[in-house]
Structure 1
Amino acid sequence: MVFAPDTEVALRSVVNLINSVANGEEQLATTQDLDRFLTAEGFSGSRTRDAAELESVHRLRGELAALWLEDESAAVKTVNRLLREARALPQLVKHDEWDWHLHATTPDAPLAQRMSTEAAMALVDVIRSKEMDRLLVCAAEDCNAVVLDLSRNRSKRYCDTGNCANRAHVAAYRARKAAS
C-alpha cells in the first residue's frame, strides 16, 4: 500500500471521474449517469440531482484532468485553491460501511465541492509523499485516459478503461514475430 486506504479510494474516484470522458466518450451525460457513478464510487451526502449539479461535476472533472498533468508546484496551487474554496476543515468521520476516514466538508455541502475537497485531500498525500509520478496518462498511442500507478514497482502504464495493455502486448508480439 502506497497511501492510506481512504486516499487510494479517493484517487481511484478521481481517475474514474476523469476517465468518464476519456477518448471522447461521455459517460456522465445525464443526472442518472451521475447517480450511477456516485453510487459506484460510494459518494454520500446531499444532492440536488439537477443539470447545474451535473455541470459543476463536469467542470470539476476538467480541473482534475488538468491537475493530473501539472507539475508539483502547479498541483500545489490547484489543490490549495480547491481546499480554500471549500473552506475545508478536515475531520475524522465514520459512516455507512466506511471505517474512520477524513472528510473536509459537511455532508450537505454541494456535491462538486465535496468531490473536489476529497480529491484535493487525497492529492495532498500524493504531493507530500513526492509521488506525483504515479499520476500518468495511458501509454497507448490512441488513448488519453489517466492512470494511477499504485504498483509496488511503479510499472503500471496502461489505463483500465479498455484493452489498451492487451492491444499493446499483442502488437509487440506481432512485431517480434514479423521481425524474426
Structure 2
Amino acid sequence: MPFGHDMVYSLATVVDLVNTSPSTGGEDSLTDLEQLTEFVENRQVSGVGELGEADLGQVRALREALHKVFTAPDQATAVIRLNTLLSGTRITPRLTEHDGHALHVHYFAPGASLGEHLSADLGVALAHLLVEGEWERLRTCSAPDCGHVFVDESRNRSRVYCDSRTCGNRMHVAAYRARRRA
C-alpha cells in the first residue's frame, strides 16, 4: 500500500477498535473504562486525559459507525457513511512530534474528547484510503465463523482471512480434510 507509517498505524487502530465489537462475531471487549483505558494504552493514543463514561459511550458509537464503513456494500455507500462520521468531528490538522514519534499530522482539535480524537484521526485515515481508490482493501474475514474486519495490505489484494495463523490455517486444514474424505 502506498501509505506511510502513520496511516498504516491509524488503519490498524481502526481494525483493532472495530474488532472489539460484538458485531464482528465475538464478545464485546470494550464494555468498561478499564478496557477502554487498556485500548488507549495499547494503541498509544496520545493527548488523552482522564477517561469517563461519556468517552466510553462515544468510542462504542464510533466503533459501530466504523464497522458500517467496512461492511458497506459499495464504495459510494462507504463514502456516505464516512462523510456522516466526519461531519460530526471538528477536524483541525496540525503537525506534532511526541513520545519519540517523528513529525506527523494530528487531525483532532486540541482538547477534543477521546471519541472526537479517534473519529478525526481514524476517519481521515479511512478517507485517504478511499481517495486512493483502495476501498476494496476494507475486508471482513471469509471464515464462516468469524466476522473480524481487516485492511488487506497484500500487494495483489488477495488476503481473505483476518489472520492467516488462526482463521486461514483453520480453513485450510478443513479444506484438506474434506479433500482427503472425498
TM-score between the two structures when normalised by the length of structure 1: 0.91
Structure 1 partner of 2:127: 124
Task: State the partner residue of 1:56.
Answer: 58
Match of 2:180 among 150, 161, 177: 177
Partner of 1:12: 12
How far is 1:162 from its partner? 7.7
Distance 1:129 1:3, change over 3 A: same
Taking only the aligned residue pairs, the percentage that are identical comes to 39
> CA offsets, 1:98-126, max 9 Å, x none?
21222111342000000011111101211
How many angstroms apart in 1 are the aligned matches of 2:36 and 2:144? 29
User: How many residues are aligned here?
Assistant: 179
Structure 2 counterpart of 1:17, one-letter code: L
Per mean C-alpha deviation after superposition, the further-off stretch among 45-54 and 168-177 is 45-54
Structure 1, gaps ≥5 residues long: none
Distance 1:161 1:95, change over 3 A: farther
Moved more, 122-131 or 81-90: 81-90
Show the counterpart of 1:27.
29
Q: 1:154 aligns with which of 152, 157, 165?
A: 157
User: What displacement does 1:29 show?
Assistant: 1.4
After superposition, the C-alpha distances for 1:159-180 in whole angstroms (9 at most, x for unaligned) are: 139821111011011011112x
Structure 2 portions without partners, runs of 5+: none
Amino acid at match of 2:71: L
- Give, as a single letter, the amino acid of the residue that structure 2 aligns with 1:5: H
Once superposed, which parts of structure 1, at least 4 consecutive aligned residues long, lie more than 4 Å away? none
Distance 1:176 1:135, change over 3 A: same
Which piece of structure 1 moves more, 161-170 or 3-12? 161-170
- What is the deviation of 1:2? 3.0
Length-normalised TM-score, structure 2: 0.90
Partner of residue 2, structure 1: 2
